Amino acid sequence: MQTLKHDLVVIGGGPAGLAAAIAAKEAGCDDVLLIERDRRLGGILNQCIHDGFGLHRFGKALTGPEYAQHFIDRLDALAIQRMLGTIVLSMEGGHVLHISSKTGFRRISAGAVILGMGCRERTAGAICLPGTRPAGIYTAGAAQTFINLQNIMIGKRIVILGSGDIGLIMARRLTLEGAEVEAVFEILPYASGLPRNIQQCLNDYGIPLYLSTSVIDIHGKERVTGVTVAEIGPDRRPVPGTERHVACDTLLLSVGLIPENELTRGADILIESRTSGAYVDDAFMTSRPGVFSCGNVLHVHDLVDYVSEEAETVGRNTAAFLKGDMRPAESHIDIKPGNGVGYVLPQRVGGEKDFVLSLRVSEPFRNRAVLVREGKRKVKRKKMVRLHPAEMIRMNVKVDKIQDAMSLEVSVE
Amino acid sequence: MSKKELTCVLCPNGCRLEVEIEEGQQIIIKDVSGNLCEKGVEWARQEIVNPMRTISSSILVEKGELPLVSVRTETPIPLKNIFDVMKEIKAFRVKAPVNIGDIIIEEVAGLSCNIIATRNVRKIS
Amino acid sequence: MSDHYDVLIIGAGVVGNAIARELSRYRLKIAVVEREQDVGMGSSSRNSGVLHSGINYKPGTLRAMLDVQGNSLMEGLCRELKVKIDYIGKLTIAQDKDDIKTLQRLKEQGEANGVPGLEILNADQMRKKQPDVGGIAALWSPTSGIICPYGLTIALAENAFMNGVRFFLGHEVTSIQRKEEGFLVNTGNGHRFTTTILINAAGLFSDRVCRMLGINEYRIYPCRGEYLILDKRLKGSLSVLVYPAPKENMPGLGIHLTNTVDGNILIGPSNEYIDDHDDCASTSNIMALLRKEGHELLPMLSTSDFIRSFSGLRAKQTSPEEKGYKDFVIESRKDVPGFINLVGIESPGLTCAPAIGLMIKDMVAERIALEEKKSFISERPGRLGMFSELPAEERADLASQDPDYGEIVCRCEQVTKREILEAIQNPLGCKTIAGIRYRARATMGRCQGGFCLPRIVEILEKDFGYRLEDFILNRPESRLFTGRAR
């Protein structure tokens, strides 16, 4: 078997991998190889034909493919080497990768690795959805692939479970394509997607959104004929007497994204259960030296602009690591989520430089503050009008505020 | 006189706006409240009187390496015209190669808005 | 015009296919008619995949004899057919003194049935086999094991086909008439068959076939068992089969954990009598129960470990009031000469299958002189197991010769394009998406086809000329798509 050597291998040619590879090269790492399993670069952006990408970064509302093209052009201009249609089968010890493609099997020995594998969608099986298993049950992303990339319509009368952005985007897409979207059902008492999407994907088209409601049965032996929905009580069980039948031929699931960390786990890299992504420090380095993580595989993002920013930081850090410029910090500060906070990232910092703290609240709040503190001492406070689990919050934390700290807690007050 | 509730989408604050409307021959905005800045007021007026949207869709490609090219409205169009625009988009075909930014349909549905390609589609060899 | 056969088998489940394969050793014109679009679409693919040792059955019954015989035949059969099998052994656990009495009874019963290697283990000994297992004692049965049930069903059919058996998929038997020479069998699509010997291996519908011949003494009561499939990452925790000691009148063997030969863990099955002979839904109450059991038996289980649920139906002869089991009905009917009838082949039907094949062969031999074919091909071509299970160097070699071995289509299960193509081009001519799934394992992983299904659809469209209406999940009406967007 052929063994190749590269200084840096970036796994994933979506927004995270693209930005990371470019930043690493620009920071002086010449030997970069980007590996992508699809036959073209762009990752999930290729099928996200709706706009809203790049508002922060470019000041324009671009579509997914347009946003991706910016980075693909730069990748080409920098002549960064890439392998398309190639899958990383395993990552041993974090530095030996086994890859497979039409041109065969190969082993790559890497000086450093950046993980940019993105996410997969949560499935009907994973949420233990009851009922039959006919044709016509799709995750929203798979339906998006079929419609946008393969010119295939997956149904005529649609019920959507889950009010995440992917489901909302598909509600609009399917309506514009002539399908009837009956309703969106959301198990939580609040919508998981952005308000802009509730307005422009549901309200614009008169598609009702039912909160605290879920699908409790699927009907149809060969093809979906309908679903039974019911209100879900605070005990997360259906409220008796609220069941009703909704006729449809398609059930679309938009019930969450799961970072694809199979490779990461296989390399015995520590994963945090809150994010389902790797534990990282403020350099975004994982528990294995020389292996970095960014983008959706690290934690699920809602704005691709922040994915690019995060990935660029990782690219620069990795270049520094390869040059030997990255000293491991002498001690570290653990950061934990407190009241009202679902997760924080990074989960530990060296305390030697400024860093950007990313976090999500665990439920919606209005007119509160996010507080970073060490014991009782306030480190940073951010007042916000609207705090929502669907919108990642980012805070700049200055090093002079955290020196000598042992641990930090982030909470909503 | 009626009241309409909107959630402003201009910035992450997501102010909940209450708009008092007088509906007659024309829609007259009487008052906007709940906003933290002036941009919200202007947005609310537009949103009530003539909501504008950008839409994205796909157009069939002939002889391309992909069957569809993703497209979008170059500038916002009135919400009420969306299905007219979709009708034209669905009927249209374009020959590969298509380049990102190409104008595929000029002044779609008689509006002063072009439909532009948002990706490259090469010709199949 | 009708096709005439020496033997016509109704039902291409594991039993029907085992019979077909056994009979294909002889100079006979054999046909199998199957209502579904693929083999094994009934109970055969929807069970725990367990090979039973034979301790649970009353000596002298068909269940007992055929199970022990089938169990010992299975190893050689799987080697010939390239089917995954693993005799991992089973611990039947006692929680109290009553249970220990049950274990002793089972040991005696097993020994009377000819089951080898049975041993009662104390707590220390049983924890050597399975650390952390609860209970005070256990009966160890080393010939218990696991097998891929749909893999076996497909392999038997493909080998039978290779040896001249004709398979008619999508042919539901609607009526049967007795003729002088045998039987005239009509199927729903207007096809007619005449046959000298008719074998009823219709499983859940075996009573329906009986009634077509005026035999009204049998009734099948479908009893549904639900399962949850768990992530492979939990596999290491379970090395042997672990069952609770059976209690009085339990309709099944209780909810337990089972390893699969592919590395997943199954929780189940439940037991629920239903009316519909065709309802394989999952229910929220049972799934909640299975999840609860799962968390108790596997402390490290998390919600992201659930891959999928499925259910299967047992063709029980005992009613909900009767409960328990009746012995298999395997008879060469004297009142309907030439009709060989199998009714109520529920657990341990899978284990019994090879032995049932031999038993039926003997019954056929009573009516037709059997002449062995020298040309019988006992080995099935291909590799055992998935490409991804081969050693790395071997995979690298094969991939360098065939680029389709290098191209991975199903990321979660690392299924190569070559395996997908082989599944599409299967010898039986099955054209469903489920058919590809059962043969290649694609879409069975964590993402359940989210990544690979669009790619499989593309291969079928571009390389095999499938039109959108050709994409069916498992039945003609189970269309995946409704048309083009443009």
As a whole number of angstroms, the distance between CA B68 and CA A47 comes to: 11
Model pLDDT, residue A359: 97
Q: How many residues does chain C have?
A: 486
Could you tell me how many CB contacts below 8 A there are between chain B and chain C?
A: 8
Backbone angles phi, psi at C116, to 5 degrees: -85, 155
Strand partners, A39: none
- Tell me, yes or no, whether C26 and C157 share the same domain: yes
Q: Which residue of C has its CA nearest to B66?
A: C458
Give the nearest partner residue to B9 out of A69, A147, A199, using CB atoms: A199
Pairwise CB contact (< 8 Å): A125 & C280: no
Pairwise CB contact (< 8 Å): B53 & A200: yes
CATH superfamily assigned to domain A1-120+257-328: FAD/NAD(P)-binding domain (3.50.50.60)
Radius of gyration of chain A (CA): 22
Residue C364 has, within 13 A of its CA and on its CB side, a CA count of: 29
Pairwise CB contact (< 8 Å): B7 & A391: no
Give the nearest partner residue to C306 out of A128, A133, A149, using CB atoms: A128
Q: How many residues does chain B have?
A: 125
As a whole number of angstroms, the distance between CA A85 and CA A87 comes to: 7
Model pLDDT, residue B39: 81
- Whether C300 and chain B come into contact, CB under 8 Å, resolves to no
SS3 C111: helix
Which residues in chain B have their CB less than 8 angstroms from residue C468's CB? none
Point out the domain boundary residue: C332, C359, C385. Answer: C385
Pairwise CB contact (< 8 Å): C458 & A87: no
Neighbours of chain C (3+ CB pairs under 8 A): A, B
Q: Which residue of B has its CA nearest to C485?
A: B90
Which residues of C are marked as active site?
52
CA-CA-CA-CA torsion for C452, C456, C461, C466, nearest 10 degrees?
-130
Q: Which residue of A has its CA nearest to C454?
A: A146
pLDDT digits (tens, 9 = 90+) for C259-294: 999 999 999 999 999 999 999 999 999 999 999 888
SS3 B19: strand
CA distances from C34 to C11, C42, C171, C200, C219 (A): 5, 10, 5, 11, 20
CA-CA-CA-CA torsion for C301, C305, C306, C312, nearest 10 degrees?
-70
As a whole number of angstroms, the distance between CA A337 and CA C161 comes to: 62
CB contact at 8 A, C80 and C379:
yes
Which residues in chain B have their CB less than 8 angstroms from residue A61's CB? 54
CB contact at 8 A, A171 and A183:
no
Give the nearest partner residue to B66 out of A51, A149, A194, using CB atoms: A149
CB contact at 8 A, C314 and C284:
no
Mean pLDDT of A148-160: 98
- Whether C486 and chain B come into contact, CB under 8 Å, resolves to yes
Here the ipTM equals: 0.95
SS3 C324: coil
Longest dimension (CA), chain A: 66
- Tell me, yes or no, whether C448 and C310 share the same domain: no
CATH numeric code, B56-117: 3.10.530.10
CB contact at 8 A, C211 and C298:
no
Pairwise CB contact (< 8 Å): C406 & A216: no
Residue A186 has, within 13 A of its CA and on its CB side, a CA count of: 18
B70 compared with B44, residue with greater pLDDT = B70
**Fold of the A123-255 domain:** FAD/NAD(P)-binding domain (3.50.50)
C203: left (phi over 0), alpha (psi -120 to 50) or beta: left
State the residue range of the domain holding C31.
Answer: 1-85+147-219+319-385
Residue C475, domain member (yes or no): no
Mean pLDDT of A262-284: 95
Fold match between A1-120+257-328 and A329-413?
Answer: no
Residue C485, domain member (yes or no): no
Which residues in chain B have their CB less than 8 angstroms from residue C486's CB? 58-60, 67-68, 90
Point out the domain boundary residue: C385, C410, C431. Answer: C385
Burial of residue C483 (number of CB atoms within 10 Å: 0-12, 13-18, 19+): middle
- Whether A242 and chain C come into contact, CB under 8 Å, resolves to no
Interface of A with C in 52-91 (CB under 8 A): 85, 87, 89
Q: Which amino acid is at A318?
A: T
Model pLDDT, residue C251: 54
Which positions of chain C have pLDDT values less than 70?
1-2, 249-254
- Cα A311 to the chain's mean position, in Å? 13
A141 has pLDDT over 80? yes
A381: left (phi over 0), alpha (psi -120 to 50) or beta: beta
Task: Render the burial of A310-319: b for 16+ CB within 10 Å, e for the rest.
Answer: bbbbbbbbbb
CATH value at residue C8: 3.50.50.60
Could you tell me how many CB contacts below 8 A there are between chain A and chain C?
A: 153
Give A327's DSSP letter. Answer: P
Give the nearest partner residue to C408 out of A87, A121, A141, using CB atoms: A87
Mean pLDDT of B59-84: 96
Point out the domain boundary residue: C368, C385, C402. Answer: C385
Residue C433, domain member (yes or no): yes
Strand partners, C484: A152
Helices C452-464/C433-440 angle, 10° precision: 110
- Whether C392 and chain B come into contact, CB under 8 Å, resolves to no
Which residues in chain B have their CB less than 8 angstroms from residue A200's CB? 9, 53
Pairwise CB contact (< 8 Å): B100 & A385: no
Backbone angles phi, psi at C30, to 5 degrees: -120, 140
CB contact at 8 A, C196 and C364:
no
- The single residue listed with the structure tokens 């129960």 is C289
Distance from CA of B94 to the nearest CA of C (A): 12
Model pLDDT, residue B11: 73
- Tell me, yes or no, whether C50 and C152 share the same domain: yes
Strand ranges (DSSP E) for C215-284? 221-230, 241-244, 256-259, 265-268, 272-273
User: CATH number for the A329-413 domain, one of 2.60.40, 2.30.30, 1.10.3470, 3.40.30?
Assistant: 2.60.40
Q: Which residue of B has its CA nearest to A175?
A: B83
Kindly state the tokens that stand for A283.
């350099």
Domain boundaries, given as residue ranges, for chain B? 2-49, 56-117
- Tell me, yes or no, whether C343 and C459 share the same domain: no
Which residues in chain A have their CB less than 8 angstroms from residue C473's CB? 134-135, 222
Pairwise CB contact (< 8 Å): A98 & C307: no
Model pLDDT, residue A402: 85
Model pLDDT, residue C234: 84
Which residues in chain B have their CB less than 8 angstroms from residue A198's CB? 7
- Tell me, yes or no, whether C449 and C398 share the same domain: yes
Model pLDDT, residue A401: 86
Pairwise CB contact (< 8 Å): C408 & A100: yes
Its sign, for the CA torsion C452, C454, C455, C461, is: positive
Strand ranges (DSSP E) for A81-221? 81-83, 87-92, 96-101, 104-115, 119-121, 137-139, 152-153, 157-161, 180-185, 209-210, 213-219
Residues 6 or more apart whose CB falls under 8 angstroms from that of A74 comprise: A22
As a whole number of angstroms, the distance between CA C345 and CA C47 comes to: 13
Kindly state the tokens that stand for B67.
């069957």
Neighbours of chain A (3+ CB pairs under 8 A): B, C
Q: How many residues does chain A have?
A: 413
CB contact at 8 A, B66 and B60:
no
Residue C486, domain member (yes or no): no
- Whether A55 and chain B come into contact, CB under 8 Å, resolves to no
As a whole number of angstroms, the distance between CA C209 and CA C190 comes to: 17
Kindly state the tokens that stand for C384.
């055992």
- Whether C485 and chain B come into contact, CB under 8 Å, resolves to yes
- Whether A132 and chain C come into contact, CB under 8 Å, resolves to yes
Q: Which residue of C has its CA nearest to B61?
A: C486
- The single residue listed with the structure tokens 């290779």 is C162
Interface of A with B in 195-214 (CB under 8 A): 195-196, 198-200, 204
Which residues in chain A have their CB less than 8 angstroms from residue C393's CB? 1
Distance from CA of A385 to the nearest CA of B (A): 6
- Tell me, yes or no, whether C62 and C177 share the same domain: yes
Which residues in chain A have their CB less than 8 angstroms from residue C474's CB? 222
Helices and strands, number each (H, E), in chain C = 13, 23
Domain boundaries, given as residue ranges, for chain A? 1-120+257-328, 123-255, 329-413
Pairwise CB contact (< 8 Å): A65 & B86: no
Give the nearest partner residue to A104 out of C279, C399, C485, using CB atoms: C399
Model pLDDT, residue C252: 56
Which residues in chain B have their CB less than 8 angstroms from residue C485's CB? 58, 68
Backbone angles phi, psi at B95, to 5 degrees: -95, 140
A247 has pLDDT over 90? yes
Pairwise CB contact (< 8 Å): B60 & A151: yes
Query: How many C-beta atoms surround the C-beta of residue A11 within 10 A?
Result: 31
Kindly state the tokens that stand for A89.
């089968």
Its sign, for the CA torsion A9, A13, A16, A20, is: positive
Q: Which residue of C has its CA nearest to A222?
A: C478
B26 has pLDDT over 80? no
As a whole number of angstroms, the distance between CA A305 and CA A301 comes to: 9
As a whole number of angstroms, the distance between CA A109 and CA A92 comes to: 10
Q: Which residue of B has its CA nearest to A385?
A: B13
CA distances from C206 to A394, C200, C212 (A): 65, 6, 10
Q: List for chain C the helix, strand, coil content (%; round to 5).
A: 35, 25, 40
Q: Which residue of C has its CA nearest to B89?
A: C486
- Cα A52 to the chain's mean position, in Å? 16
Pairwise CB contact (< 8 Å): A104 & C400: yes
DSSP line for A224-288? --EEEEEEB-TTSSBPTT--EEEE-SEEEE---EEE--HHHHHTT--EETTTTEE---TT-B-SS
Distance from CA of A163 to the nearest CA of C (A): 19
Pairwise CB contact (< 8 Å): A89 & C486: no
Pairwise CB contact (< 8 Å): A65 & B70: yes
Q: Which residue of C has its CA nearest to B68?
A: C486
Distance from CA of B59 to the nearest CA of A (A): 10
CA distances from A61 to A55, A196, A330, C334 (A): 5, 13, 43, 80
Model pLDDT, residue B42: 85
Residue C65, domain member (yes or no): yes
A27 has pLDDT over 90? yes
Q: Give residue A121's pLDDT band: very low, low, confident or very high (50, 70, 90).
A: very high
Model pLDDT, residue C1: 54
**Which of C54, C40, C20, C17 shows the shortest CA–CA distance to C347?**
C54
- Tell me, yes or no, whether C179 and C256 share the same domain: no
- The single residue listed with the structure tokens 């679309």 is A252
CB contact at 8 A, A396 and A384:
no
pLDDT digits (tens, 9 = 90+) for A303-357: 999 999 999 999 999 999 999 998 877 788 999 999 999 999 999 999 888 999 9
Q: Is the peptide bond before B97 cis (omega within 30 degrees of 0)?
A: yes
As a whole number of angstroms, the distance between CA A30 and CA A26 comes to: 8
Its sign, for the CA torsion B74, B79, B80, B83, is: positive
pLDDT digits (tens, 9 = 90+) for A186-198: 999 999 998 889 9
**Which of A243, A244, A225 shows the shortest CA–CA distance to A157?**
A225
